[in-house]
Chains A and B, each alone.
Chain A
């Protein structure tokens, strides 16, 4: 075992997640291998939310009483803590209800003539064939609203973005892509894509939902213009997402959702808007969710994201090796650890993913089945559905063994005639 794995006290970590002790309807202990869909939350996150609510809950950025001050402090300190976690400045973070809303916020700005980077007929929006629908549909809709053209990088046989599959020119205004594919686990060539975008004056939007929870991420170092991720995939609450934007871009963007809190002055005729990030946080914001998400960032930080990454890589390696030993199984994605994140998607020849998932569920092993909101990628591979195991810091080698044993059982069960 590696040095980092030795520093990891998995028993102690698992004690922070009571749900992992649950015995499921088939009589087996839960093996939760669906953290790519939503992760479980440690007591530290739940306690942070509860402590905030029973001591300091108030309306953020409103009025002048003590609770309002304390809740505003908690909210803004949360912003600073989360910003530090991803290598950003606090004024570059906008809280949204989820990552999807963050991407939509950016896509709407690109469709607003008040924004200097707005697109129109003749302009090109670029995305990739492996995107989650959240990073595809908003761009399709932007193209429809503005008359711009949507183009995309295709993916190669291992489910990686084929960076030579699309020629970029100066008509390209924005390139949106996932850091880690939520299906194949392939890690995008961020540096190359950012370089190519900069060379033609295009902006980049990174879907970081599957990377921020699983590896160290420094957004300034990556050089992307925007990034979005969600709280509930990184041991935090749901109902909260984070949009990162370089400050000068955020400050130049028109608002998306309008209303209270995002204004500077309001008359019956017109309104001027608050500076970013408040401009993008209309209405009463999420408070306990921000506190919880900051606690999740602290929790991961205390373990160390390099340790998280290393631990998950060992689990992925064990899963790839174990599944390779089941003859009917095909991995959909890279079969080595090079440039690879946590999701391990697979098909079992002759057995539908739903049926594989059901047999695993009977064993208490929770995996995702379906197209994982990445239907075009599944179509590309001629698949209706895949099964996906995805890992987090709290998973164990024993759970990987149970996954492999469950898949073998499915093959046995549906294979007999």
Chain B
């Protein structure tokens, strides 16, 4: 499970720290272990692009590294693509090891395929990702409306 790439992200996390400006800030907790992440998302003025994702928190190597990988992938993506990335990661992690994950979509995220075999750790891997999904939804609501996605 502890691939080298996971350990690298854990020891040297990318985009860590809370930054301004941001459209939404969320706090997610894993109640079974007490791990928590505070995560901010900044979208472009038109709400189409993920401009920045910043975060702080405490947690195990899996939750910390997964959040670091998340930021690498989604910063600069369109909101639509970012949410597709989240869906792909969630699908791989929740597959009990049956879905390998597409490196073109998930980049370093495919290193977490092994985590899927440990049900107790799935929530760890998803902590930052679910916080991101929540923050994007909240940040999108803040965007003034005419082009607001109804989906």
Name A's B-contacting residues (CB within 8 A): 352-355, 358, 369-371, 375, 378, 384-385, 413-414, 417
Contact = CB atoms under 8 A, between A and B. Distances in A.
A417 B60 contact: no
B124 interface: yes
A252 to B, nearest CB: 37
26 contacts: A352-B35, A352-B58, A352-B60, A353-B60, A354-B33, A354-B35, A354-B59, A354-B61, A354-B124, A355-B60, A355-B61, A355-B62, A358-B1, A358-B121, A369-B33, A370-B32, A375-B34, A384-B33, A384-B34, A384-B35, A384-B36, A384-B59, A385-B33, A385-B35, A414-B7, A414-B61
Nearest to A370: B33
A414 B10 CA distance: 10
Contacts of B84: none
A352 B61 contact: yes
B96 to A, nearest CB: 14
Given A384-B36, A385-B33, A413-B2, A354 B11 contact: no
A354 B58 CA distance: 12
Contacts of B124: 354
Contacts of B35: 352, 354, 384-385
A272 B35 CA distance: 49
A378 B34 contact: yes
Interface string B54-94: 00001111100000000000000000000000000000000
Contacts, number: 44
A354 B60 contact: yes
B37 to A, nearest CB: 11
A358 B33 CA distance: 13
A354 B32 CA distance: 11
A107 to B, nearest CB: 22
Nearest to A375: B34
A358 B11 CA distance: 17
Contacts of B59: 352, 354, 384
A371 B58 CA distance: 14
Given A355-B62, A369-B33, A370-B34, 20 more contacts: A352-B35, A352-B59, A353-B33, A354-B33, A354-B35, A354-B59, A354-B61, A355-B2, A355-B61, A358-B2, A358-B118, A358-B121, A370-B32, A371-B33, A384-B34, A384-B35, A385-B34, A413-B2, A414-B7, A414-B61
Contacts of A375: 34
Contacts of B60: 352-355
Contacts of A384: 33-36, 58-59
A114 B30 CA distance: 40
- Give me the 8 closest cross-chain CB pairs, A-B, nearest first: A354-B60, A352-B60, A370-B33, A384-B34, A371-B34, A355-B61, A355-B60, A385-B33
Contacts of B32: 370
A385 B62 CA distance: 15
Nearest to B36: A384
A375 B124 CA distance: 18
A406 B109 CA distance: 28
